[in-house]
Amino acid sequence: MIPLISALAVLITVAAAEWLHTRRIRIAQRLAFGTSGARPWTRFVPLLRSLSLAAFTWGLATLIQLQTTANDPAKDTKNDTATRLVFIADLSPSMYLQDAGPDGALTRHDRMRDVTEGILQRVSGNLRFGVIGFYTESIPVVMEARDPELVRNVFNGLPLSYAMPVGKTDLGKAVNEALEHVAAFPPNSTRLVIFTDGDSVSLVPIQKRPQSVKEVLVLGLGNPTKGTYIDSHQSRQEGDTLQRLATALGGIYEDVNTKHLATTALGDLVVPLAPLQKGLSLAQLAILAMVLGAFINAAIPLAQEYLGSTWRPVAVTRSSAESSPIIERKLPA
């Protein structure tokens, strides 16, 4: 109602001002526009100006109201109703071995980035994102983020491994620490996506997943059949280790070294797109009203100047005055 009331107030105010202005200039219209007067279309100028300013006011008030409603904390979705999508990323040196991708030309880390991008492009809804990196220990990098670009930034070459002590990768310890980081979230609000090649020391007993975790996906990277030499051993995707990890967490293990994660595995994180809206939205109508209102109001003075009357004043120069005939008037004797 506020936009309509504002537009109505402007319409009445401008109409009253135009009516008063018309009364005041009526007596001098022949001096301003010549003996022919103003052209007939100028009678509609008060109406056009009133309507254009009212339309501009309605559009502006509508946009302000929409923006205020969108930023209203009282109407914002609470964090306890949001879904947390937390990526747990293996950042150990073995993740930089080149044996991933359909043709084996990518490093495992690059493949992890590509799979993450494929997930981010398909999920939507009321989401909060998180990234936990692990090597010899787990470090929360991003938590409770609304913008997926923060997740992309972490996987796009952020050197987090330098922030961790050098040593052997302990997958079991890292996962247990990651579970502690998400334990405080609301029940059944968190989905964990674990990226790793499974190259680790012996897997320690995995803690029971907290009530906050609803689903766990363990995604394997690296060639599962052919190993690459690093740190005195052959490193490959340890499918058996990853399956045991998924079983301990009550989750699912999938090999994503050469193929992306299936959309069905993402479940209700994939929200179908709303059907295309027919016609203009309220915000688009408001912008259109502002543009048309401003254009009409700005064009009225120009139209009045060049199209408002057929009479044109002519400046009389000295030469033209001298060449004009002089009419003599005889005075009575």
pLDDT tens digit string along 143-186?
A: 999 999 999 988 887 777 667 777 788 899 989 999 999 999 99
- Which of 165-169, 190-194, 305-309, 323-327 is modeled with the greatest confidence? 190-194
Q: What superfamily does domain 79-269 belong to in CATH?
A: von Willebrand factor, type A domain (3.40.50.410)
Mean pLDDT along residues 300-321: 75
Q: Using DSSP bridges, classify how beta strands 228-230 and 233-235 pair: parallel, antiparallel or unpaired.
A: antiparallel
Range list of β-strands (E), 177-286 = 190-196, 213-220, 228-230, 233-235, 252-255
The confidence band for 93, taking pLDDT boundaries of 50, 70 and 90, is: confident
Q: What is the CA radius of gyration of the chain?
A: 37
The answer to whether the beta carbons of residues 236 and 227 sit under 8 Å apart is yes
Distance between the two ends of the chain, CA-based, in angstroms?
81
- What single DSSP character describes residue 317? P
Cα separations in angstroms, 99 against 195, 226, 228, 241: 15, 9, 8, 19
The boundaries of every CATH 3.40.50.410 domain in the chain are 79-269
> In which band, very low, low, confident or very high, does the pLDDT at 331 lie, cut at 50, 70 and 90?
very low
